[in-house]
Amino acid sequence: MTRYKITILLLFLLSVTFCKAVPLTDTTFKNVICSFGTANSKRIIIGAHYDTCGNQEGADDNASGVSGLLELARLFKGQILKHRVDLVAYTLEEPPYFRTENMGSYIHAKSLETAKIDVYGMISLEMIGYFKDEKKSQSYPLGILSWFYGNKGNYITLVKKFGSGNFAKHFTKSFKQSQAIRTKTFVGPPSLPGIDFSDHLNYWKFGYSALMITDTSFFRNKNYHQVTDTMETLDLNRMAKVIDGVFYSITK
């Protein structure tokens, strides 16, 4: 995957109007789903939310994740896959709908459970484009974690909860084997601030094995939910490598 392709995808996404926080009674909101390997019964869900928090570009949060979905769609075309892969662009992840049953990911996860779909696992692409090599560019919910993970925001993180299941375990192993990008794994209780700050939390609610891929959001990117969250602040080369790692892990 090239920096050029990522640039074009981001320019496209930032040129469209993302849904904002408006009353649910006035507007119909929809998830957008694209499926590959539909002959397979067991599914892998890869999702990213396409709404933004207020009137801003939302380049990292979360045009970066959605552009990753678009590139994965291009890469999966014509591939022989071991599982069905559903790429899902979610609506209503941002406040005031976060942690409510109005979240697009809650609606989707619930529909899978209701239909008794065989889901192997889920990946949430949540802010995957911001990297910094400077010292003290990375913070943590607990200061002591810098002793283990370092204080440079130069890596992508695979975030899981304790007992996150076989899919999360196997995907993490494969992603690291890809050596596409510097990667660290964080495992903790769902109660730890930040560990469930995206759409994967709704798949956890329904008992699915799920994880989040993230640049750690506001623990690194101070443009979080600000008008300064623009494409110029992103590291497109490393962002592309994140998607290379996802593609490798799903197809190996």
Which strand (E) or helix (H) includes residue 88? strand 84-90
Q: Which residues of 135-164 are buried (b: 16+ CB within 10 A; e: fewer)?
A: eebbbbeeeebeeebeebbbbbbbbbbeeb
Whether 214 and 239 have beta carbons less than 8 Å apart is answered as: no
Dist CA 212 CA 222 (whole Å): 19
The band of 22, judged by pLDDT with boundaries at 50, 70 and 90, is low
Q: Which residues, listed in sequence order, are joined to residue 54 by a DSSP beta bridge? A: none
pLDDT at residue 12 in the model:
56
The band of 24, judged by pLDDT with boundaries at 50, 70 and 90, is low
pLDDT above 90 for 239: yes
Whether 111 and 225 have beta carbons less than 8 Å apart is answered as: no
Terminal-to-terminal C-alpha distance of the chain: 17
pLDDT above 50 for 111: yes
| Mean pLDDT for the stretch of residues 100-115 | 97
pLDDT of 31-68, one tens digit each?
999 999 999 999 999 999 999 998 899 999 999 999 99
pLDDT at residue 17 in the model:
46
Of the CA atoms within 13 Å of residue 227, those in its CB half-sphere come to 1
Bridging pattern class, strands 210-214 and 32-36: unpaired
| Mean pLDDT for the stretch of residues 83-93 | 97
pLDDT at residue 26 in the model:
76
* CATH architecture of the domain covering 3-251: 3-Layer(aba) Sandwich (3.40)
Give the mean pLDDT of the chain. 92
pLDDT above 70 for 21: no
pLDDT above 80 for 196: yes
How do the domains of the chain map onto residue ranges? 3-251
